[in-house]
């Protein structure tokens, strides 16, 4: 039996290995990004023999392998119709390594002092200097190599993005949410967004059908049926698009890298039936649990730092 509505404190890779296969419906999470932050966790052991905190690896390829080793286990514990949603940001190479990409820097300093020695020899000097490392895409490609199907790249656009001092590039105001499925067929509750007024107006005027044009390949009869359903409100909206404009989180607790609860509402509604189980292997301050409970889903969290487990448990009790 899988535990639910609990946070297990420990290294995600090791905890996941103890869980039964096909036991959770979906995974949504935000792992530590590469080279950006210190979550003050104890160093953990990886299968390649390296010991340290996820995200502090001297090479980004090593980070991607470690991350994918964890997601291999996530895949095993997901039900066969399960999906996995990963919020992940990018990093610039070389001298810009200490400048987070589109996210807040608070808490980053001590970590960066610790990894200064890594930066000196980091492979992101030289040819990668100033180069956006495209970590989310390298990660996505490795996930596909390991058997996942990627279904969408969702852009989380942040209207309140941190300003940047860079003058030779644009200010990045987004991160990614990568949406993977374990198999080709999977549970997915379609999510709708409101129809544009311009679509309704065009529909009212007949979309030029009276002039011999056709609308999305429909003949006159089928168009009129669609028009009727659109105007009488039977069609409630259009399939949701992939650019989501949502402010970054403003959670006031002691965790500095939380995601906005609004960001994960749609994935949870789309990916997990009511009463199902949502897994977050990097649960941090517990946002996933709070949203899952609000949406009548069960949840299971893993967190390496016991201080964050405590913080999350208090937050979940309050339900905010």
The secondary structure of 84-109, three-state, reads: EEEEECCEECHHHHHCECCCCCCCHH
Q: How far is the CB of 307 from ligand SAM (least distance, A)?
A: 9
Residues in region 287-316 near ligand SAM by CB under 6 A: 287, 302-305, 308
Q: How far is the CB of 315 from ligand SAM (least distance, A)?
A: 9
Using CB under 6 A as the binding rule, whether residue 9 contacts ligand SAM is answered as no
| CB distance 10 to 65 below 8 Å | no
Binding mask 238-257 for ligand SAM (x = CB under 6 A): -----------------x-x
Question: Interacting stretch for ligand SAM, rule CB under 6 A, among 28-36, 121-129, 186-194, 213-221?
Answer: 28-36
Size of the site for ligand SAM (CB under 6 A): 22
Using CB under 6 A as the binding rule, whether residue 12 contacts ligand SAM is answered as yes
| CB distance 260 to 290 below 8 Å | no
Closest of 42, 54, 38, 35 to residue 107, by C-alpha: 38
Q: How far is the CB of 56 from ligand SAM (least distance, A)?
A: 10
Alpha-carbon span 89 to 175, nearest angstrom: 5
Using CB under 6 A as the binding rule, whether residue 89 contacts ligand SAM is answered as no
**Which residue's CB is nearer to ligand SAM, number 85 or number 92?**
85
Question: Interacting stretch for ligand SAM, rule CB under 6 A, among 96-104, 129-137, 229-237, 277-285?
Answer: 277-285
Alpha-carbon span 213 to 142, nearest angstrom: 45
Using CB under 6 A as the binding rule, whether residue 46 contacts ligand SAM is answered as no
Helix (H, G, I), strand (E, B) or coil at 283: coil
Provide the 10 A C-beta neighbour count for residue 72: 15
| CB distance 313 to 50 below 8 Å | no
Question: Interacting stretch for ligand SAM, rule CB under 6 A, among 29-37, 102-110, 160-168, 236-244?
Answer: 29-37
**Which residue's CB is nearer to ligand SAM, number 86 or number 172?**
86
Alpha-carbon span 37 to 97, nearest angstrom: 11
Sign, CA torsion 272/259/50/61: positive
**Which residue's CB is nearer to ligand SAM, number 223 or number 251?**
251
In this chain, which of 92, 259, 271, 291 binds ligand SAM, going by CB under 6 A?
259
**Which residue's CB is nearer to ligand SAM, number 74 or number 122?**
74
Question: Interacting stretch for ligand SAM, rule CB under 6 A, among 117-125, 128-136, 155-163, 280-288?
Answer: 280-288
Instruction: Give kind and range of the element (H or E) at residue 223.
Output: helix 220-231
* Token pair belonging to 248: 């970054």
- The CA angle 180-68-268, to the nearest 5 degrees, is 35
Q: Is 221 exposed, middle or buried (0-12, 13-18, 19+ CB in 10 A)?
A: exposed
In this chain, which of 7, 27, 54, 277 binds ligand SAM, going by CB under 6 A?
54
Residues in contact with ligand SAM by CB under 6 A are 11-12, 30-32, 39, 41, 44, 54, 255, 257-259, 282, 284-285, 287, 302-305, 308
């Amino acid at each position: 039996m899988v535990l639910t509505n609990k946070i297990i404190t420990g290294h995600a890779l090791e905890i996941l290995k103890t869980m039964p296969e096909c036991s959770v419906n979906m995974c949504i999470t935000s792992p530590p990004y590469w080279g950006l932050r210190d979550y003050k966790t104890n160093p953990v052991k990886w299968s390649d023999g390296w010991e340290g905190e996820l995200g502090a690896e001297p090479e980004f390829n090593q980070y991607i392998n470690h991350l994918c080793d964890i997601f291999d286990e996530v895949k095993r514990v997901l039900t066969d119709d399960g999906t996995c949603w990963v919020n992940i940001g990018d990093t610039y190479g070389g001298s810009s390594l200490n400048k987070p990409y589109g996210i807040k820097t608070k808490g980053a300093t001590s970590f960066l002092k610790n990894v200064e020695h890594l930066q000196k020899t980091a492979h992101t000097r030289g040819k990668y200097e100033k180069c956006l490392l495209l970590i989310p895409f390298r990660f996505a490609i490795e996930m596909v190599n390991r058997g996942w199907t990627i279904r969408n790249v969702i852009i989380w656009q942040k209207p309140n993005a941190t300003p940047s001092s860079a003058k030779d590039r644009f200010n990045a105001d987004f991160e990614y949410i990568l949406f993977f499925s374990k198999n080709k067929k999977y549970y997915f509750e379609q999510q709708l967004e409101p129809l544009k007024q311009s679509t309704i107006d065009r529909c009212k005027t007949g979309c030029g059908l009276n002039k011999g044009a056709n609308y999305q390949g429909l003949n006159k009869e089928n168009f009129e049926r669609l028009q009727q359903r659109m105007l009488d409100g039977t069609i409630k909206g259009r399939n949701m698009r992939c650019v989501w404009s949502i402010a970054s989180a403003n959670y006031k607790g002691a965790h500095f890298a939380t995601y906005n609860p609004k960001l994960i509402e749609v994935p949870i509604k789309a990916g997990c039936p009511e009463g199902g189980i949502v897994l977050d292997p990097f649960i941090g301050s517990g946002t996933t649990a709070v949203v899952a409970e609000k949406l009548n889903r069960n949840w299971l969290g893993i967190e390496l730092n016991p201080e964050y487990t405590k913080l999350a448990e208090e937050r979940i009790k309050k339900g905010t």
